[in-house]
């Protein structure tokens, strides 16, 4: 019985402790402030990043890992003939990261015919801890000895059951980074509009609703979750960048409305942060 290793990229925003606990291997994306390049969650931590974001004159840009970044890691892990890899990544609709991993796979398949079966690359069709959780779950299952097919099945189920909404302060960052997806229709109003965003089944950002004002946005998010989870026991994962109080406001209201089994928090890292801005609050809910 072989060993299953889980690989991901840095945009899953998985807390460092969990990553270390489950020995999840992570390939970083890169964030650039002008000529200065940082490796997401390796050479730059979220707190430093948001400080830079405020002080820097130019907005940062990001870049995906190169196929080489992936192939080196894949080769290292697959050198053990009993090892299989499940490599889970940021939505292919938002980033070339998945594509890069796929290229890496095709590059190394020439080295060893067994690599094709032993390496599975998954498009999470989600972002941030929306798939970070999926990665942690996969690692936990792997540790418990679940088969590759069993883990892949669990991932599919997770993708179907998960619900997420996120709030941004402004659509400016999503628009500049070109990740606005189908939410572009909310753009351009002169009023201070708070869009409520989500990621659809194809892994693309879309606007669920638009409201005026932060407080209305928070209560609207709670209302939206009610549609799917009213009366159900749920697990909440919450991500934030700098607006912890808004996130706590959502959690408090969620606790009033739902049977909340557990809550976990994460910080949104620099790559996702580049594309949503420091005002982001994301709430991920899964039924238990």
Residues at the contact surface with another protein, assessed by CB under 8 A: 185, 188-193, 210, 212-216
CB of 190 vs another protein, minimal distance in Å: 4
Residues 6+ apart with CB under 8 A from 32: 38, 60, 61, 62, 63
| Nearer to another protein (CB atom), residue 25 or residue 216 | 216
Distance in angstroms (rounded) separating the CA atoms of residues 161 and 36: 40
Distance in angstroms (rounded) separating the CA atoms of residues 237 and 267: 11
| Nearer to another protein (CB atom), residue 122 or residue 250 | 250
Sheet of strand 30-33: strand arrangement: 36-39, 30-33, 61-63
CB of 209 vs another protein, minimal distance in Å: 8
Neighbours of 159 (CB within 10 A): 18
Q: Which two tokens stand for residue 95?
A: 């980033």
Backbone angles phi, psi at 238, to 5 degrees: -130, 135
CB-based contact 9:269 (threshold 8 Å): no
CB of 109 vs another protein, minimal distance in Å: 44
| Nearer to another protein (CB atom), residue 48 or residue 192 | 192
CB of 246 vs another protein, minimal distance in Å: 13
Distance in angstroms (rounded) separating the CA atoms of residues 24 and 16: 10
DSSP of 108-170 = HHTT-TTHHHHEEEEE-S--THHHHHHHHHHHHHHHTT--HHHHHHHHHHHHHH-EEEEE-S-
| Nearer to another protein (CB atom), residue 75 or residue 216 | 216
CB of 213 vs another protein, minimal distance in Å: 4
| Nearer to another protein (CB atom), residue 181 or residue 273 | 181
Residues 6+ apart with CB under 8 A from 14: 8, 24, 26, 129, 132, 135, 136, 266
| Nearer to another protein (CB atom), residue 18 or residue 211 | 211
CB-based contact 249:225 (threshold 8 Å): no
CB of 216 vs another protein, minimal distance in Å: 7
| Nearer to another protein (CB atom), residue 185 or residue 288 | 185
CB of 255 vs another protein, minimal distance in Å: 20
Distance in angstroms (rounded) separating the CA atoms of residues 65 and 98: 9
| Nearer to another protein (CB atom), residue 168 or residue 285 | 168
């Amino acid at each position: 019985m072989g060993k299953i290793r889980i690989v991901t990229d840095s945009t899953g925003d998985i807390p460092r402790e969990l990553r270390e606990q489950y020995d999840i291997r992570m390939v970083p994306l890169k964030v650039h402030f002008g000529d200065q390049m940082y490796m997401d969650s390796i050479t730059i931590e979220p707190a430093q990043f948001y400080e830079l974001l405020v002080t820097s004159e130019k907005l940062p840009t990001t870049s995906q890992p190169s196929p080489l970044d992936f192939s080196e890691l894949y080769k290292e892990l697959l050198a053990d003939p009993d090892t299989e890899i499940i490599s889970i990544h940021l939505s292919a609709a938002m980033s070339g990261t998945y594509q890069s991993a796929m290229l890496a796979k095709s590059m190394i398949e020439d080295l060893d015919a067994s690599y094709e079966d032993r390496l599975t690359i998954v498009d999470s069709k989600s972002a941030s801890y929306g798939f970070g959780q999926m990665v942690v779950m996969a690692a936990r299952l792997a540790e418990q000895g679940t088969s590759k097919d069993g883990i892949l099945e669990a991932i599919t189920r997770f993708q179907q059951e998960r619900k997420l909404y996120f709030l941004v302060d402004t659509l400016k960052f999503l628009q500049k980074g070109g990740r606005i997806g189908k939410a572009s229709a909310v753009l351009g109003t002169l009023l201070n509009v708070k869009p409520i965003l989500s990621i659809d089944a194809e892994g693309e950002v879309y606007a669920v609703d638009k409201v005026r004002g932060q407080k209305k946005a928070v209560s609207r998010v709670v209302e939206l979750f009610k549609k799917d989870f009213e009366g159900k026991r749920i697990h909440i994962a919450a991500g934030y960048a700098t607006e912890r109080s808004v996130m706590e406001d959502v959690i408090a209201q969620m606790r009033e409305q739902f049977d909340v089994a557990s809550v976990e928090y994460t910080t949104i890292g620099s790559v996702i942060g580049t594309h949503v801005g420091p005002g982001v609050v994301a709430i991920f809910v899964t039924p238990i």
